[in-house]
Amino acid sequence: MSFLSRCALALSALVLGTACAQPIPPEIASALARARVPLDAVSLLVLPLDGGPARLSHRAQASMNPASVMKLVTTFAALDQLGPDFTWKTRFYIDGTLDNGVVNGNLVIRGGGDPKWVIERITADFQALRERGVREVRGDIVLDASLFDVPAHDPGAFDGEPMRPYNSAPSGLLVNFKSVLLGFVPDPASHTARVTSEPPLAGLTVDASVPLSSDDCAGWRGALQADFSSPDRIRFGGSYSVRCGEQIWPLAYADPASYARRVMAAVFAASGGVLDGQVRPGTTPPTARLILEAPSLPLSSIIADVNHFSNNVMAQQVFLTLSAQQRGHGSFAASREVVARWWRQTFGAGGPPAPVLDNGSGLSRDGRISALALAQLLRTAAQRPTADVFEQSLSLAGVDGTVARMRSSGTAPDAIGNAWLKTGTLRDVAAVAGYATGRSGRRYALVGLINHPNAPTARPALDALVEWTVKDQ
Spatial neighbors of 79 by CB under 8 A, at least 6 apart, are 299, 300, 303, 381, 384, 386, 389, 390
pLDDT for res 313: 96
Q: Confidence band (pLDDT; 50, 70, 90) for 6? A: very low
Tell me: do 81 and 99 sit in the same domain: no
Tell me: do 143 and 243 sit in the same domain: no
Residue span of the structural domain in which 201 resides: 165-252
pLDDT for res 22: 66
- Mean pLDDT is lowest, of 148-157, 169-178, 184-193, 310-319, for 148-157
Could you tell me the CA-to-CA distances from 433 to 207, 309, 374, 458, 460 in Å, in that order?
Answer: 43, 15, 8, 15, 14
Q: Report yes or no on 48 lying in a domain.
A: yes
Tell me: do 451 and 359 sit in the same domain: yes
pLDDT tens digit sequence for 276-309: 999 999 999 999 999 999 999 999 999 999 999 9
266-269's contacts with Cβ under 8 Å and 24+ in sequence apart are 266/199, 266/200, 266/201, 266/202, 267/119, 267/122, 267/123, 267/126, 267/199, 267/200, 268/126, 268/137, 268/141, 269/202
Q: Report yes or no on 446 lying in a domain.
A: yes
Strand, helix or coil at 339?
Answer: helix
d(CA 355, CA 319): 14
Strand, helix or coil at 198?
Answer: strand
Rounded to 5 degrees, φ, ψ at 295 are -75, 155
d(CA 113, CA 315): 11
Could you tell me the CA-to-CA distances from 212 to 224, 249, 362 in Å, in that order?
Answer: 10, 17, 40
Q: Are 215 and 223 in contact (CB under 8 A)?
A: yes
Of 184, 218, 252, the one marking the end of a domain is 252
pLDDT over 90 (residue 154): no
* Widest pairwise Cα distance in the chain: 86
Q: Report yes or no on 431 lying in a domain.
A: yes
pLDDT over 70 (residue 451): yes
pLDDT tens digit sequence for 382-440: 999 999 999 999 999 988 887 888 788 777 888 899 999 999 999 999 999 999 999 99
- Cis omega (within 30 of 0) for bond into 353: no
Q: Report yes or no on 226 lying in a domain.
A: yes
pLDDT tens digit sequence for 361-373: 999 999 999 999 9
Q: CATH number of the domain at 19, please.
A: 3.40.710.10
3-state secondary structure 41-60: HEEEEEEECCCCCCCEEECC
In this structure, the number of other CB atoms found within 10 A of the CB of residue 65 comes to 23
Tell me: do 346 and 424 sit in the same domain: yes
Tell me: do 465 and 348 sit in the same domain: yes
Q: Are 412 and 49 in contact (CB under 8 A)?
A: no
Could you tell me the CA-to-CA distances from 370 to 69, 115, 195, 277, 281 in Å, in that order?
Answer: 11, 28, 46, 53, 41
Q: Report yes or no on 160 lying in a domain.
A: no
Q: Pick the residue with more confidence: 331 or 405?
A: 331
Tell me: do 211 and 108 sit in the same domain: no
Tell me: do 313 and 435 sit in the same domain: yes
Tell me: do 323 and 454 sit in the same domain: yes
The identity of residue 344, as a single letter, is R
Task: Indicate the number of domains in the chain.
Answer: 3
Tell me: do 307 and 448 sit in the same domain: yes
Q: CATH number of the domain at 96, please.
A: 3.50.80.20
Q: Report yes or no on 177 lying in a domain.
A: yes
d(CA 10, CA 231): 60
d(CA 360, CA 169): 12
Residue 252 parent element (H or E):
strand 247-252
Tell me: do 315 and 415 sit in the same domain: yes
Alpha carbons within 13 A on the beta-carbon side of 198: 9
What is the reported pTM?
0.93
